[in-house]
C-alpha cells in the first residue's frame, strides 16, 4: 500500500505522524512510504533519516494526497487540504468532528474513509490513541496554568505550591480521566491544594486511592462546582464524552464567581470545551480574558512539545498504521476490533453515533463484510 505522511498545517503543529522507525517497519513489510519534505524536522527527524529507511520524500502535500491510499496525519485536515482528499482514500488522524461542522461536511463530501484516533476504543472502553496525548496535555495544563498565574502574565500572582507560612494555590480539575489524573499528579507534586471532579463514582474511588493526599475528590455537580469557584486559582477542563460534544460544566454566568486573574485551561476545547466561555486559541495567541478570567484554550497542546509528543503518539498509533497498511481498513477492523469505533465516516456516511448526534445527521452502521 502507498502510505502518505503530509506535513502538519495547523498553527504550531510540530508533530509528525510517522517516525523514521515506523517508516522502516512499513518499508520492510513491502509498503511504499511517501513523506512531505521537512515533515519531521520540528520533531527532530531530518528527511535523510526517512530516506535511509527506503521512504521517499516528496516536495508538496498535493503529491502526497494524490498518490497515497492511506494518509496518516496528526491533526484534522485544514481547509486548504479538504479538496485534496478523495473517495476511496483512508485517513487516519485526530478529527474531533463533534466540534467542527465545516470539517464534518467537508469530509462527508470527500467520500473518504475517516478513522479518528480519538474514538479508537478497546473493549475495556479505554482510548489508546487519546491516552498518550492526554497524558502530555494534562501535565502541560498545570505548567501553563502556573505560568499564567504570574502577575506579568495577567494572573493573580500566586505561586502554585506556596512557601512555608503561605498557603498554596487551589486547583480545580473538572474530569478525572487521563488528562485530569495527569494534571492532578503534577499540581499535587508542585504542592497545590487540588480538587478533582468526575461524575463516575468508581473513578472517584480510584482517584482517591491512587493520588497523593493533597488531592481531594468531589462529585461533579453544578452545586459542588459553584461552591468551589470563589476560592480557586486555576481550573482545568478535562471532561470527555467520546466522539460527542463536551458538556459545559462551567457556564458563562459562573465566571463572576471567580476572582479576576483566575486561570482556566480548557484542555477539552477540541471537543467543544468544558467552559461555555471557551473558544479555540492557538500556540501563537494562547489566551484571552473574559470577565477578568484568563482562558487558555489551545486545541493542540502536545503540538508545542513535538520531541516528546511525536514519539509518544507514534508508539501508540503505529500498530494500527501497520494493520491498516497490511490489510486495508475493512480487514484491519477484523485484526484490531478497536478500530471499529474509530470509523467515523465511510463513503460520505456518518458511522459514529456521537458524531451523528452532535450534528443531527443520519447514523449508518459500518458495513464490514
Ligand X SMILES: NC(=O)c1ccc[n+]([C@@H]2O[C@H](COP(=O)([O-])OP(=O)(O)OC[C@H]3O[C@@H](n4cnc5c(N)ncnc54)[C@H](O)[C@@H]3O)[C@@H](O)[C@H]2O)c1
Q: Which residues are catalytic?
A: 96, 270
Q: What does the block give as the cell for 205?
A: 474511588
Query: CB within 8 A of 369, min separation 6: which ones?
Result: 330
**Binder of ligand X out of 239, 250, 255, 356 (CB under 6 A):** 239
**Binder of ligand X out of 1, 120, 240, 254 (CB under 6 A):** 240
Query: CB within 8 A of 253, min separation 6: which ones?
Result: none
The DSSP symbol for 363 reads B
Report in angstroms how near the CB of residue 271 gets to ligand X at its nearest.
4
Among candidate residues 88, 120, 77, the one with its CA nearest the CA of residue 2: 88
Among candidate residues 174, 176, 171, the one with its CA nearest the CA of residue 194: 171
Report in angstroms how near the CB of residue 142 gets to ligand X at its nearest.
14
**Binder of ligand X out of 133, 158, 229, 333 (CB under 6 A):** 133
**Binder of ligand X out of 76, 81, 198, 233 (CB under 6 A):** 198
Is residue 265 within 8 A of residue 144, CB to CB? The reply is: yes
| CA–CA gap between residue 266 and residue 9 (Å, rounded) | 22
Classify burial at 138, counting beta carbons within 10 Å of its beta carbon; exposed 0-12, middle 13-18, buried 19 or more.
Answer: buried
Q: Site mask, ligand X, residues 297-316, x = CB under 6 A?
A: -xxxxx--------------
77 binds ligand X (CB under 6 A): no
Continuous H helices in 211-305: 222-228
**Residues facing 288 on adjacent strands:** 295
Closer to ligand X by CB, 177 or 341: give it.
177
Report in angstroms how near the CB of residue 37 gets to ligand X at its nearest.
26
Closer to ligand X by CB, 83 or 227: give it.
227
178 binds ligand X (CB under 6 A): yes
Closer to ligand X by CB, 107 or 238: give it.
238
Where does this chain bind ligand X (CB under 6 A)? Answer: 118, 130, 133-134, 137, 175-180, 197-200, 203, 220, 238-241, 246-247, 249, 267-271, 298-302
Amino acid at each position: 500500500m502507498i502510505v502518505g505522511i503530509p506535513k502538519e498545517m495547523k498553527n504550531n503543529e510540530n508533530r509528525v505522524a510517522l517516525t523514521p522507525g515506523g517508516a522502516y517497519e512499513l518499508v520492510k513489510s513491502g509498503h511504499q512510504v511517501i513523506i512531505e519534505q521537512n515533515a519531521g524536522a520540528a520533531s527532530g527527524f531530518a528527511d535523510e533519516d526517512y530516506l535511509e529507511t527506503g521512504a521517499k520524500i516528496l516536495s508538496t502535500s498535493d503529491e502526497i494526497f494524490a498518490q497515497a491510499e492511506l494518509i496518516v496525519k496528526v491533526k484534522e485536515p485544514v481547509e486548504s487540504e479538504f479538496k485534496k482528499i478523495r473517495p476511496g482514500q483512508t485517513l487516519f488522524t485526530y478529527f474531533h468532528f463533534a466540534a467542527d461542522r465545516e470539517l464534518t461536511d467537508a469530509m462527508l463530501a470527500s467520500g473518504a474513509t475517516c478513522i479518528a484516533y480519538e474514538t479508537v476504543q478497546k473493549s475495556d472502553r479505554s482510548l489508546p490513541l487519546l491516552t498518550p496525548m492526554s497524558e502530555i496535555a494534562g501535565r502541560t495544563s498545570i505548567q501553563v496554568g502556573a505560568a499564567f498565574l504570574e502577575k506579568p502574565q495577567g494572573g493573580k500572582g500566586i505561586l502554585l505550591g506556596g512557601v512555608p507560612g503561605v498557603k498554596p494555590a487551589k486547583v480545580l480539575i473538572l474530569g478525572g480521566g487521563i488528562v485530569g489524573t495527569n494534571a492532578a499528579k503534577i499540581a499535587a507534586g508542585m504542592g497545590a491544594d487540588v480538587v478533582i471532579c468526575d461524575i463516575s463514582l468508581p473513578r472517584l474511588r480510584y482517584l482517591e486511592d491512587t493520588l497523593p493526599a493533597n488531592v481531594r475528590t468531589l462529585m461533579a455537580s453544578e452545586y459542588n462546582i459553584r461552591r468551589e469557584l470563589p476560592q480557586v486559582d486555576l481550573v482545568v477542563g478535562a471532561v470527555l464524552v467520546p466522539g460527542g460534544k463536551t458538556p459545559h460544566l462551567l457556564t458563562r454566568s459562573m465566571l463572576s464567581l471567580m476572582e479576576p486573574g483566575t486561570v482556566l485551561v480548557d484542555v477539552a476545547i477540541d471537543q467543544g470545551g468544558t467552559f461555555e466561555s471557551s473558544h479555540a486559541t492557538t500556540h501563537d495567541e494562547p489566551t484571552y480574558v473574559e470577565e477578568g478570567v484568563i482562558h487558555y484554550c489551545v486545541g493542540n497542546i502536545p503540538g508545542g512539545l513535538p520531541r516528546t509528543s511525536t514519539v509518544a503518539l507514534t508508539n501508540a498509533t503505529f500498530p494500527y498504521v501497520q494493520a491498516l497498511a497490511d490489510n486495508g481498513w475493512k480487514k484491519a477492523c477484523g485484526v484490531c476490533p478497536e478500530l471499529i469505533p474509530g470509523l467515523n465516516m465511510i463513503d460520505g456516511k456518518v458511522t459514529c453515533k456521537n458524531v451523528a448526534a452532535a450534528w443531527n445527521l443520519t447514523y449508518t452502521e459500518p458495513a464490514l463484510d
